[in-house]
Amino acid sequence: MWSREVEAAAGLGQINMEAIFHERQEGSLCAQHCLNNLLQGEYFSPVELSSIAQQLDEEERIRMAEGGVSSEEYRTFLQQPSGNMDDSGYFSIQVISNALKVWGLELILFNSPEYQRLGIDPINERSFICNYKEHWFTVRKLGKQWFNLNSLLMGPELISDTYLALFLAQLQQEGYSIFVVKGDLPDCEADQLLQMIQVQQMQRPKLIGEETAQSRDDRGQKTDLEQALDVNHPYDGTGMLDEDEENFQRALALSKQEIDMEDEEADLRRAIQLSMQGGHRSEFSDSVSQNTPHSSGISQSESLSSEELRRRRQTYFEKQQQQSQQGQTPDLHDKPTTSSNALGTDPE
């Protein structure tokens, strides 16, 4: 039950956060975003702010002309670019101040001696405008809570009451100029809604581009193995070709391994077959010796060992050599059994 209430409160807080008007940064139009986030609506456009800047330039020109249009100061003033705006979209504090006068609002420097003597607690104010170099942003109280409405953020940032003074002090240390907005701000939906229900923010909004940069860094991070492979095989534009060749070589190795295994199996089968054929031959010779009449020499050769057969061959060769010397013809009946006779084959 408690978790459901937390989820419901978080969901309701998200809805209330979405009710806050927040313009994100576009180009260098931070002064426009600062004013619209302060007033919680699209109250000013670049054209309207440019018109205010041109009006200020004209007022300054008239004041400079009072000293004489032929003076060196006046000619120098005409040659200088506008100090109230530029082509990038930047607008000066004078433009912002004149724009707020339309709504009866006034800017007072926060760290000025006049304001510091008042001893006003920042929590009791309604809004601040902060400037550093050429960037402007608003810190405003909506309902009973403070929000940083910086256009460089992805969304409004919740600031607690205890942290507000520290936040402003930190900005001052970083070189920001802080202005207190005095006067009654126009009514807005977010202020009315947050008067009834406070919001809860679980995570601080990221800066614009921070999430994209983080995802890019995550994609750029590689494991130690991938980095080692990159060192051994740096990418030179032929990575895909090297990968295809590597796959081809791997396939050749597997194919060769399969062929070697098949050759070994074939040799094994051939050896088994020859062994079986040798067994059949011995059986066949036994059957022939039993059914076919042979001389006593042939029958005895069946049981002769290889050593005995070698000795008989040697005796036969010696005997034949003696007969050739004596001029006698060898007797066919004395011819010993050959290897073919031992297998039971017909000599003819």
Backbone φ/ψ region at 206: left (φ over 0), alpha (ψ -120 to 50), beta: beta
Which two structure tokens, joined as six digits, stand for 278?
A: 């040798």
Known catalytic residue: 16?
A: no
Catalytic residue among 37, 131, 150, 341: 150
Catalytic residue among 130, 135, 148, 341: 135
| Ordered strands of the 157-159 beta sheet | 106-109, 177-182, 127-132, 135-142, 145-148, 157-159
Known catalytic residue: 36?
A: no
Which two structure tokens, joined as six digits, stand for 256?
A: 């060769």
Dihedral of alpha carbons 249, 250, 251, 254, sign = positive
For 21-39, b/e burial (b = at least 16 CB within 10 A) is: bbbebeeebbbbbbbbbbb
Token pair 């009315």: residue: 192
Is residue 24 within 8 A of residue 16, CB to CB? The reply is no
The residue length of the chain stands at 348
Which two structure tokens, joined as six digits, stand for 326?
A: 């004596």
Q: Please give the span between the terminal C-alpha atoms of the chain, in angstroms, as a whole number.
A: 109
Cα 55 to Cα 59, 90, 160, 320, 331: the distances in Å are: 6, 16, 40, 142, 147
Catalytic residue among 30, 34, 84, 131: 30
Known catalytic residue: 188?
A: no
As annotated, the active-site residues are 30, 135, 150
